[in-house]
Structures are given as structure tokens and as C-alpha cells.
Amino acid sequence: MREIQFREALNEAMSEEMRRDENVFLMGEEVAEYNGAYKVSQGMLDEFGAKRVIDTPITELGFAGIGVGAAMNGLRPIIEFMTFNFSLVAIDQVINSAAKMLYMSGGQVPVPMVFRGPTGNAGQLSAQHSQNFENWYANTPGLKVVVPSNPYDAKGLLKSSIRDDDPVIFMESELMYGDKGEVPEDEYLLPLGVADIKREGDDVTIVSFGKMMKIALEAADELSKDNISAEVIDLRTVRPIDYKTVVESVKKTNRLVVVEEAWPLASISSEIAFHIQHYAFDYLDAPVKRVTNEDIPLAYAPTLIEATLPNVKRTIDAVNAVLYR
């Protein structure tokens, strides 16, 4: 099977859906003339033209609102935020318009659209450009929230997101756009709300999503050298969460570690920990451990970044703790 970059997988997903459905269009800062801030939309302006690949001013609230209105009138916009840190400027349109319109219209006005762009740490970008808001959006009824970890998942999940009749928050990572992975040339879709067991194991379950899957899988590799068999689950979507897959894994391994690149309070890992300790308590041989960002804004200095973010060592330490090692 061919290998392509994460950014190429996203490009293929959008291009294929735009060829399939003339109602799909892309709008955002630098998506057209510049081919995307991260070259995700490379070549799309040449193929689809300026009416369907639309450059905007630096006005997130404005073009998010245009997207919501377009979706309410039968189009399927893809709204790109240069970073989800900037989505805070547009959050009123996302939360109070896109997420609520179907409910407030009594089911008469769907809002089929995708808000997509990078999330989380991307190197030395400091505190205002290094945040994770997956849990913010996942807290909102009416939204679906997708966080892929590899090119294969990214393409299949984005195609499903574009076809979905609900607004979808699709969160990527600047540090993953160059990652390569196997992606079929034939069309495929991946369902939203279904987790994937990336590695099977018997001793402990490690749950993660997005680029933290790299940490989880590397930790599992290191643990295997000590004959510790870790089952690694990629949530893929954090609203809806596939609780069943996690519960069934914990019933087998009896231990759970959750790795998440976000602050600890009211996080996705908090929700997973509560759910497992409530619905699979009798199967747990140790309390659930979480590995998260430290509860501080991310610094600029690389040494402080390293000390703040989840890493392989902290993940292994958490696994050893639940194994009472």
C-alpha cells in the first residue's frame, strides 16, 4: 500500500468529497492562494476555483458565521482555523449557532459542516498558541469532535465528517502534518464514535487520541521489553466516546492509564476515568491513572515544554504505578 503524508490524506479527503458533492467548499485564512498555511489545501484552488476554495481575512467570527449560514441553507462548508487557539474568537458561532440550531429549530434546520485545523502544542509557540480545547467542544451537545492520530484515520474520518449532517470539530496537529502512513487509493470511510485498538495486550490498557498516541505506542514498546503487555486504544473521536471498547479492554487487563495533551481539570481523561471507575469498578485492580499536561500555560523554553507535556517516561511510570511496581 502507498504511503502518504498526513496533510496529503486530509487534502485527498476534502478533494474527493468536493468532486462527489458540489455543495462542499473550503473557507479559511490562506487556504487558496497560499495553498494552506500547512499546505493541506495544496492545489485545490487550481482544481475547484475561487468560489469553492475561499481565502478570508483574519476574521474567524465572520467566516465561521458565513459557514453556519451556508450550512443552514443546504451547503456543506469546511471551515479551516489556522489553529484552534483562534477558534476562541469564533466560539459563539460554533457553540451558540452551529451546535444548537438543529435543536432550536425542532429538527428542521441541520448544520452539516466541519470546523477543522491544528490543536495543541506545536513547538515553541508559547502559551497563547499551544492549547487543547477538545474537552471544551466535547462538552457541547450538538457537536461531534474528532481527533485523528495517523494519515489513514485522518482521511477516513474526515470524509465521514464532511458527509455527517451534524457540525463536526475536526482537530489535527501541526506536528503531524508531515507524518507518513499507509492509505489505500480506493475510497473508504471510517465511522465516527468508534475507537480502534491499535495494539492488543493483557496487563494494562492505555487510552489516548491524537498525537499523544505516539507517546502511548512508544511507551507500550518500551514496556514490552519488561514483559508488560499493554493494550493501546485510540479513541479517534472524543464526542461521542466509544466507552464500550474501553470497558471491554479494562475487563480484560484490569488496569487503565489515560494519556492526554490537555490540562487535567474536567478533561477527556477525567471523563474516561469516571466512566470506568463507575461502570467497570469491579474489574479494576488499581485506581485509574491519568497522564496530562501540567496545570499551567505552556512555556516557550524547550526545557519547560518537555517538563510540562506528557511523555513516555511519565506514561511508563503511570503503568508501573497501576501494576504496583
Active site residues: 60, 129
Beta bridge partners of 231: 205
Residue 40 DSSP SS3: coil
The answer to whether 87 and 132 are in contact (CB under 8 A) is no
What's the sign of the alpha-carbon dihedral 308, 91, 269, 170? Answer: negative
Q: Which of 169, 173, 159 is nearest to 11 (CA)?
A: 159
The whole-angstrom separation of Cα 32 and Cα 45 is 5
Q: Which DSSP letter does residue 311 get?
A: -
Quick one: cell of 23?
455543495
76-80 vs 53-55, strand pairing mode:
unpaired
The whole-angstrom separation of Cα 96 and Cα 175 is 30
Distances (CA, A) of 12 to 39, 41, 140, 208, 280: 12, 9, 29, 26, 40
Quick one: cell of 165?
449532517
The answer to whether 174 and 213 are in contact (CB under 8 A) is no
